[in-house]
Chains A and B, each alone.
Chain A
Amino acid sequence: MNIPFTAQLINMCAALLLLIAFAMLSQRRILSLINLFALQGLILSFSTAVVAYTTSQHHLYTSAALTLLLKVIVLPLILHRLIRKLNIKWDVETMFNIPTIMLIGLALVVFAFNLAAPISQMAGTVTKSTLGIAMASVLLSFLMMITRSKAVPQVVGFLAMENGLFFAATSATYGMPLVVELGIALDVLVGMFILGIFFFQIRVAFDSLDLKHMEKLKED
């Protein structure tokens, strides 16, 4: 095996991202979920910086710094504040039992790896082999959003999905143009604020953050 050391480092980060995606999927507590999300952001930022160093693409340094600022510091802080204000630190109910979810997750990973194999053969980047992992983490975050009934874990799942997309962009094409990235970062931040306000509205309306209540269209 003769992969350069930096590529090995990126592969390692990719593996850790997948590990965290699974940890999030199996996590019962909201507080740990947010900490895991911050850790995911940290690894993402580190791997982006390594890609920037390897390929001397300077705009990637900016996106690494942006990731660090936004996803490791600002968003977890907002989320921590939110759950403190909403007073919801306790266990999260999942729709299925966790081993079933993990098994579905495993099937998703196999699917994503197979899907990414022909694409990554065409890509000419150093990080082409991590594309499968990036797709897997997008799908896993999606699965997390589907299997949670409470609002906050769904939002964490959404943010984690954005992390996965970012990683996919980095590994397939060395990142999107800076303007697009700035736009997405702003979108996520604003989305977070709006969702934060929504949480309070949902709780006022239904006395709970369980989104099952929103499935009914008519009052009984």
Chain B
Amino acid sequence: MSYTALLFQAVQNVLVLLAAPLLLGWITQCRAWLQNRTGAGVLQPCRNLIKLFHKDAVLAHNASPLFRATPYILFSCMWLAAALVPVLATDLPLSPAVDVIALVGIFALARVFISLAAMDIGTAFGSLGARREMLVGFLAEPALLMVLFTASTISQSTSLITIVETLAHKQFVLYPSMAFAAVAFLMVLLAENARIPVDNPSTHLELTMIHEAMILEYSARHLALVEWASALKLLAYMTIGIALFAPWGIAESGDWGALPLALLLLFSKLLLGGAGLALMETLSAKMRIFRVPEFMGTAFLLAVLGLLTHFLLETTT
């Protein structure tokens, strides 16, 4: 492990930390433009975070240590996840420690803790949100795993680094199975990040909220960490999507010259992806909670179909 690689990892850690609120701000801004509003600007999530960090935290009387520890656990899980995905270069010292299955495990760990914390206070909304979150989560997880398995069978490895190297740096090949995987992944992304067809990120209406219901009791720095963590989660998902389905431009290990180009490409991909997400959210309406299992079931089936088509079309000897 070289020092340059360590430096690289440090740069990426800081980069994802700063880019996550900006990405969220960009998506919100795009939605505002699409709805003919002026919008609060790309920097608004950052301003919110700064404001929340300056406030005094209020805790419920019956809050247990778990409730207080959860924002920190959540934040570190999401930061770790975002730092593990190769966004700029495939030369990351942290990445060999964790493959895609463990990455899904990290997301699951964060989900378990936020749900426990939501039920910890004992309010009705908290446990309602937690139950809904677990419903969405347990349906989304197998779909996500199948998507990642499709990519893994192509590259013969569950390591994200190897997957990206196979897809981006070898000879260009069209993978039909990845078309299925991409659609399934998009559905999982929408569900896991509380985006519109499944959950509305900007709602506070009791009947519909999932993510917001769980974090109602948090305030000040705890809330800031939770919000930042969900921005990081969105960024992590977007970068996983980029790494799997549009990895071109990610620098090879040791190739410092390609770094500025990789940075530029990453930002344009994130801008495009964010705008696309905003467009999709504007065009679709939130679905009933009872339709969510159907939505996620479709995602899972598509991911399985991706695997099947891989064996049918891509393993000719």
Contact = CB atoms under 8 A, between A and B. Distances in A.
Contacts of A154: none
Contact of A12 (B179, B298, B301): B179
Per CB-CB distance, the 5 closest pairs between chain A and chain B, nearest first, are A15-B176, A8-B174, A99-B297, A11-B313, A11-B176
Contacts of B304: 106
11 contacts: A1-B173, A8-B174, A9-B174, A11-B314, A12-B176, A14-B176, A15-B177, A18-B305, A99-B297, A102-B298, A133-B309
B302 A1 contact: no
B183 A19 contact: yes
Nearest to A13: B176
B316 interface: yes
B293 interface: yes
B294 interface: yes
Interface in B191-235: none
A1 B179 contact: no
Contacts, number: 67
A22 interface: yes
A106 B301 contact: yes
Interface in B140-191: 173-174, 176-177, 179-180, 183
A113 B313 CA distance: 10
B305 A16 contact: no
**Chain B contact residues: over half helix, strand or loop, or mixed?**
helix
B313 to A, nearest CB: 5
A102 B308 contact: no
Interface size class of B (residues with CB under 8 A): 20 to 34
Interface in A93-134: 97-99, 102-103, 105-106, 109-110, 113, 129-130, 132-133
A131 to B, nearest CB: 9
Contact of A19 (B179, B312, B314): B179
A1 B170 CA distance: 11
Nearest to A117: B312
B179 A16 contact: yes
A180 interface: no
B140 to A, nearest CB: 15
Contacts of B301: 22, 102-103, 105-106
Contact of A113 (B173, B177, B179, B308): B308
Interface string A174-202: 00000000000000000000000000000
**Chain A contact residues: over half helix, strand or loop, or mixed?**
helix
Interface string B42-79: 00000000000000000000000000000000000000
B207 to A, nearest CB: 22
B7 to A, nearest CB: 36
B187 to A, nearest CB: 12
A102 to B, nearest CB: 5
A26 interface: yes
B312 A129 contact: yes
Contacts of B298: 22, 26, 98-99, 102
Contacts of A98: 294, 298
Interface in B289-317: 293-294, 297-298, 301-302, 304-305, 308-309, 312-314, 316
Nearest to B154: A1
A76 B134 CA distance: 42
Contacts of B313: 11, 14-15, 129-130, 133
A3 interface: yes
Nearest to A103: B301
A139 B304 CA distance: 18
B204 to A, nearest CB: 29
Contacts of B174: 5, 8-9, 11-12
A130 B304 CA distance: 18
A110 B308 contact: yes
Contact of B180 (A1, A19, A103): A19
Contacts of A19: 179-180, 183, 302, 305
A11 B173 CA distance: 11
B232 to A, nearest CB: 31
A15 B308 CA distance: 10
Given A1-B314, A3-B316, A22-B302, A15 B297 contact: no
A109 B179 contact: no
Nearest to B311: A113
Nearest to A9: B174
A40 B179 CA distance: 15
Interface string A8-33: 11011011101100100010000000
Contacts of A14: 176, 313
A1 B177 CA distance: 14
A38 B183 CA distance: 20
Given A12-B174, A99-B293, A113 B305 contact: no
A122 B177 CA distance: 24
B163 to A, nearest CB: 15
Contacts of B302: 19, 22
